[in-house]
Amino acid sequence: MEKLISLYERLKKLRDSGVRMKDIAEETDIASSVLSSLYSTVLPMYINLLSAGEEDDKALDKALQQVNNVSKRKLLGCLDDLYDKVSHIEPRQPSKNTGRPFLDDIEKEAMKYLPNAGVYTGLYLAYSSSSFSDGLKVEPYLISSINDGDTIPKVYSQSMSGDYYAGVGLFSPFQIGYLMFNEQKRLQLALKVVYLQLPIIEYPNYLKGIYLTHDYNRNPIARRVLFVRQGDEIPLEEFGEMRTEVIPKEQLTEEQRAYYDYTCEPGDVIKSLMLVSPDRNIKELQLEKNMLNLFKG
């Protein structure tokens, strides 16, 4: 079983250097989808279970249960040959500086953390405070599984208008996750960033965090948000039929009321108004807060 760990370390080294999963699959005569499942889901979970004290066979069985295209018999039967072929693939040389070090660093780090993303794939409902009324906003989110050639996980969110929009996710091993979207048309930049606290457990049912976005007047607003897992990943066509909704406070179920109490208290939302620059008159800072207090009422 030590060879499984060595295989994962070798695959990770190749992926970190920029070698595509498709190219590795061609060199090893293994289907790209099978290799991706091994790298993004099976092997990371297997190693995590071993670290937690699980026996080898049980750890591998549990890890293989997370995918439907890899069998234990075939994996162990081809392991020696697979490891030998992977070991003979040369890592790529680092590419030249493209002049965008920040974005390049983000992509490079995201590639390192691709195996972590597999733990969070699936369909979620996100609960937060509504800007329109005293109610609970419910937004569908989809975190997609890793496909061949992906360097950053794809994530999707459903708008109030019924159109879903795509973004990118980053799930680090340091209990920090980010979901980033552009909520407006492509020619407009209106970033929505969800900051998630990632629990130290496998396949969590709840994720909590804070998201920063803009209201319709382009004023920044931050909210506490709670992600509740609904199940495995679904097709985008099916996700596109889902809708974001606002449930009035008086219609909440007992469970939804718990989500409301966590996300919709006055201190769970931070807003800002676009006034004349505070540099011209410091009193406008207090004016802004006074106006926001009036809106709360």
Note if the pTM is more than 0.85. no
- Give 189-237 pLDDT, tens digit per residue: 778 999 999 987 777 899 999 999 887 777 889 999 999 999 999 999 9
For residues 206 and 262, state if they share a domain.
Answer: yes
DSSP string computed for the chain: -HHHHHHHHHHHHHHHTT--HHHHHHHHT--HHHHHHIIIIIHHHHHHHHHTT--HHHHHHHHHTT-SS--HHHHHHHHHHHHHHHHTSPPPPPPPP-S-HHHHHHHHHHHHTHHHHGGG-EEEEEEEE-SSSSEEEEEEEEEPPP-TT-SS-EEEEE-TTS-EEEEEEEE-TTSEEEEEEE-S-TTS--EEEEEEE--SSSS-SEEEEEEEEE-TTS-EEEEEEEEEEEES---HHHHTT---EEEEGGG--HHHHHHHHHH-SGGGEEE----S-TTT-THHHHHHHHHHHHHH-
Q: Where is pLDDT greater, at 75 or 293?
A: 75
What confidence score (pLDDT) does residue 262 get?
95
Measured over the CA atoms of residue 45, residue 48, residue 52 and residue 56, the dihedral's sign is positive
For residue 97, what pLDDT is reported?
55
- 259 and 137 together in one domain: yes
The 10s digit of each residue's pLDDT in 179-197 is 999 877 665 677 899 999 9
Q: Are residues 176 and 217 in the same domain?
A: yes
pLDDT digits (tens, 9 = 90+) for 260-275: 999 999 889 888 877 6
Is residue 35 within 8 A of residue 21, CB to CB? The reply is yes
pLDDT for 196: 95
Tell whether 155 and 88 lie within a shared domain.
no
Q: What is the pLDDT of residues 241-250, one digit of tens each?
A: 999 999 999 9
CA distances from 167 to 46, 213, 239, 260, 297 (A): 29, 14, 14, 26, 35
Average pLDDT score over residue span 156-162: 85
Q: Are residues 69 and 195 in the same domain?
A: no
Q: Is beta strand 154-158 parallel, antiparallel or unpaired with respect to 206-214?
A: unpaired
Enclosing domain of residue 26: 2-94
The reported pLDDT for the residue numbered 149 is 65
**Residue 224 to residue 263: CA distance in whole angstroms:** 5
Tell me if 50 is assigned to some domain: yes
- The answer to the question of residue 103 being in a domain is no
Domain count, the chain: 2
Q: What average pLDDT does range 125-147 have in this prediction?
A: 90
Same domain? For 240 and 151 the reply is yes
pLDDT greater than 70 at residue 64: yes
Q: pLDDT digit string (tens) for 10-34?
A: 888 888 777 888 888 888 888 888 8
What percent of the chain is predicted at pLDDT more than 90?
27
Mean pLDDT of the chain: 84
Q: Identify whether 277 is part of a domain.
A: no
295 found inside a domain:
no
